[in-house]
Amino acid sequence: MAENPAMKKGTVTPISSLFPAEEAHKASKRVQDTIAEHQEQLDQLKGFMNENTNLINLVQKLPDELHHNIMVPFGKAAFFPGRLIHTNEFMVLLGVDHYVARTSKQTIDILKRRGKGLENQLESLKAVMQDLKAEASFFEATASDAVDGLVEIREDYAEESPSEVVPLANNTKAAIEDDEYARILSRIAELEQEEEAEKANEFNRDNQIENDLACNTIQSFTDQEVRSSKVEDAILQSPSKDGSSHGKGPALDDYSMKKKVLELPEVKEKVQAPVTADNKVCFISCSHCNPSIY
């Protein structure tokens, strides 16, 4: 029975078919040879750095004296005694067959710059060797797995369609959101009703206070008018000092009588009191308290 390709869930591949053991060993050997070459370069750079450090120390000591007794090399195996003079003058190699005269301090600065360049080369070479060692380790592990017969299993990951689950989740989420929205609207309506009721109660209390105050003001004004009228009647009915009651003196005219009445303290205070907008409002709003004054 032929296998249906559509029903195939994965593939099994032996490691040896991808990376044969012999090829992995050869690749590992080539990487090891490269590592050995880089190791030689590393040792050579370390030797250069040591020589540069020793040369710096020597150049620092030479100017301490005017001359030094030395053994001058003559050929490969012969030496003869000599003297080193001009200890603060050095011929520094700048390039191929190119020398320049420098002092001890200048020579030391040049040697230190060369030492920093050697250090940078050394660090770069170490990083390359670390990568090569990791590559060699990988080839060795792959060769070992190929020899042991390990296989690679690769399966295709098919994502499940969320179309069956999403509608239910969406409906539930929508229902929750609708309930929450309805609850919020209901609470807002309750708060608005409470606020309107509170405003209405406050308005009624203010109107009641204004009506009571207006009634008291009108009543006081009426009492003062009554007292003023009584005083005026008493003055009009009282006899004059010169016996006018017997008909001997002239009667007081209306102007004199009104002037005397206005000079009374209570009447004078009432007349001189300024008429304000508040008083007018009180009179109009409380006309129902004492309509007889209109």
pLDDT in tens, 62-105: 999 998 999 999 888 899 999 999 999 999 998 888 999 999 99
Q: What is the C-alpha end-to-end distance of the chain, expressed in Å? A: 120
Flag whether 243 is in a domain.
Answer: no
Higher local confidence (pLDDT), 187 or 176: 187
Q: What is the pTM of this model?
A: 0.44
**CB-based contact 72:80 (threshold 8 Å):** yes
Q: What is the CATH number of the domain that holds 142?
A: 1.10.287.370
Smallest CA-to-CA distance from 141 within 37, 11, 15, 39 is with 15
Residue 186 inside a domain? The answer is: no
Query: If pLDDT is split at 50, 70 and 90, which confidence band does 157 have?
Result: confident
Shared domain for 18 and 127, answered yes or no, is yes
Which range, 110-124, 160-174, 251-265, is most confident? 110-124
Q: Render 18-77 in DSSP notation, one character per residue.
A: HS-HHHHHHHHHHHHHHHHHHHHHHHHHHHHHHHHHHHHHHHHHGGGSS-EEEEEEETTT
Q: Is residue 167 part of a domain?
A: no
Residue 43 has pLDDT above 70, yes or no: yes
57 located within any domain: yes
Confidence of residue 215 (pLDDT cuts 50, 70, 90): confident
Which of 116, 138, 155 is where one domain is finished? 155
Mean residue pLDDT of the chain comes to: 75
For 223, the domain range is 207-236+253-294
pLDDT (0 to 100) of residue 277: 43
* Residue 112 predicted with pLDDT over 90: yes
Q: What are phi and psi of 113, to 5 degrees?
A: -65, -40
Tell me, yes or no, whether 64 and 131 share the same domain. yes
Nearest to 90 by CA among 71, 110, 70: 110
Mean pLDDT of the region 217-231: 71
